[in-house]
Structure 1
Amino acid sequence: MDEDTDHGGATTDALAGALGRTWTEDRPWSFLTRLTAIGDRMGGGPGEREAADLVETTLAEAGVRNLTQQSFPMERWERGEASLALLEPHARTFETIALPYSPAGEVEGELVDVGYGMPEEVDEADVDGKIAVASTSTPPGTRFVHRMEKFGHAVEAGASAFVFVNHVEGQLPPTGALKFGSEASAPAVGVSKETGAWLTEYAEQGGTVRLSVDASTTPGESQNVLGDLGPDTDEHLLLLAHYDAHDIAEGALDNGCGIAVVTAAARVLAEADLPIRVRVGAVGCEEIGLLGSEHLASVTDLDSVRGVVNVDGAGRFRDLVAMTHHSEATRAAVESVASETRQPIHVEHEPHPFSDQWPFVRAGVPAVQLHSDSGERGRGWGHTHADTRDKVDDRDVREHAMLTALVVREVAGRDLGRLDRESLAEAFRDAEFERGMQAADLWPDSWD
């Protein structure tokens, strides 16, 4: 890791002081408390706008300058009531919630259990004109297959509707978008693990259900919050985190922790000697399609972006995870920070398209996503009613903020080069993403 001594010991002392204060201060917890108290921060809604104002105020207090809110149009989805009623072999009802971008409508049909919803499982099942039931989890030893892929596979095979079954106990129906920013072609709902056990049993008996969704998709507006740290150079590094959340919970883990990490890291970086400008971006509408980061990428001269550090999932659990998205340069930077600080940072090198680094990685910009997990498969409390502030240990938020600041400083000081398109496409193929991304309409045409 580059030292600040080339720029004078006072800078090193200032950075060390900022890191030390982060270790003990209560600002990250106070911010997280105010953010989660808002409640519904669904993309395009009033709670998301209130959160954007809070983020802007907090970044200004941290020393971020030139702050502005950049609005962008989007398709706002609003959740209404949903119902799931068993018709045969006897009548009963189940608790359920609609999945974002599900269209409104009512479907009756036979239940078909497609297991984990892997492509081969959908291929083997007869889902044409039926209602596919798939788990939120994936088989051990395989990559985590995203909900959008499972839904896409089922609809491609002719399913008339989709039921997403949580693998986490506790009567927790999961949520999560079906498409990136637009209404899907078939109704879909989430149900708890306990309900899923009944549905898979009824599927074996040829059970039929009536699934009903009340929802709307209308033109809306969201916003990104943007500001600067460091020198006024044309070339810059992007430090990103999304601040929106699903409407069914407080969004403390996803991604309240992440944006809290960024606000605390910004306070540290304001006292660091940065080699180039760091543009801090709090982006909206990640949960419904990376819409904020897509807009940011569309209005940014990407040739001026040295790299991206995306904080999505940091601060949730004990140890930091760095997803380096096929960039050897960002991997080396992260490993340097881990070595210098003697702190564990687990590196995962495979790319994925399901967070805010994707619009930039797709264009060849090197990135690292800072994350943390419990070691369990899937999202855990995330995307359920249980994503609440009491699940957070703010020691993890403060420690990850310190490490994030050091990673940003290290990445900003390196020549990262550019990702080769053919090599990147091959990396996605090697990770067995191609078919799933095609089913979810995410595979770039230029990669064919």
Structure 2
Amino acid sequence: MPPTKVNLTSGHLLRALFSLATPMLVQAFLQNLQNMIDLYFVGKLGSPAVAAVSASGNILFVLTPVLMGASMGTIALVSRFTGEGNHRLAAQTAGQSVPIAIIFGIIIGIIGQFFAPDFFRWMSIPDDVTALGLPYLRILLFTSFTMFVLFLGNAAMQGAGDAWTPMKIMALANVLNAVLDPLLIYGIGPFPTMGVNGAAWATAISQAVAAVTSLHLLVSGKVHLNIRFRDWLPDPHLCWRITRIGVPSSGQMLLRSLMNATLYSIVAPFGTSVLAGYSVGTRINMMILMPAFAFGNAAAAMVGQNLGAQKPDRAVKAAWLAVGVEAIIMVVASLLLVFFAPQFIAFFASEDPEAIRIGAEYFRIEAPFYICSALSIILSRALGGAGASVAPFVINAFTLWGVQVPAAVFLSQRYGTIGIWSAMAGTQVIHAIIVGWWFNLGRWKHKKV
């Protein structure tokens, strides 16, 4: 078993990178698996139940930008203070993530209770699905503060160089969720039969147990961040420092989510089969990019700690090493998708030849440029780890909304779907060039957090 805490400011860079990125990748997989566990167990309740859980999952995905932004602020500060050797301030920062998580969770919970019906109506969800999905969504929104506490507690550990403990905590949540789902959904033994609502409570309880476990470890000092109870009391100055870094990161993820919805509206007029092929392609695309975000988060922690330790050159090497490793992964993925795209698409859309053709067309144009995505994602996360999160936000806004969306609209009118995929591929190249250029300027090395 590898050590829980990795020395990021000295020693072998590649070993440190994989010691962080590997558990982060497993953790990301486990987070995505939670919703799949619910889907599996509600499957026996019929198609409306499955659709209700799926639709609610899409709505809950909107929380991702807020979670990612807050976690980036926590990682940036905890890693910087850890690198400086200021473990007391690192612990105080980790402690401040708790009130931030609770406040954001309560706000979102309250908003969700009032607007949950509107979410389903905006998505044109059928009434029978809404009837099942509405209480399921309200339960998860009401208890969302536990998800925030879990997410930010894990981010604090990662900033301190410990990515294995958060992975184990997520594994605990998944195992507990898998045990509780059948008990609460079907009413096994002394448990009540709750149907779809049982899946929501199983998820909420498992997240709450995992969040309490995370807090216990942080307070006990077993994860190199010995938080004291007074560190949980809101410190406006420290909370503002976390938020100042986190808000641009949240904005960056939100812009990307909105852009994805906009691209769906551009693709939709070409027909159901085209939309199905594109939808399957984007699902596979998200899976392919999971390692990039894992290596990006690892690079963020390494950059933050090495800047704190006054080792900016090592921070630069760590970021580019992560890009190099991920580039190899992306080349392999690109080759597989270019040559075997129909087989991958057919796994999800085996009954629709046109969807398979469109999905294959999408990957043959898009996949060769995955290496550009690897560069832009990892260097953007590295900049966030340095506390320089405004530049990635501005670059993201310009490339997605100033280049990709207008180009997709224009080229779709001239060349159809090939024009849309070409606009997406070209934007990846432009994004990578700009991010790489800004990173090499090196202004982030002097960023004060």
* Fold in common (TM above 0.5): no
Higher strand share: 1
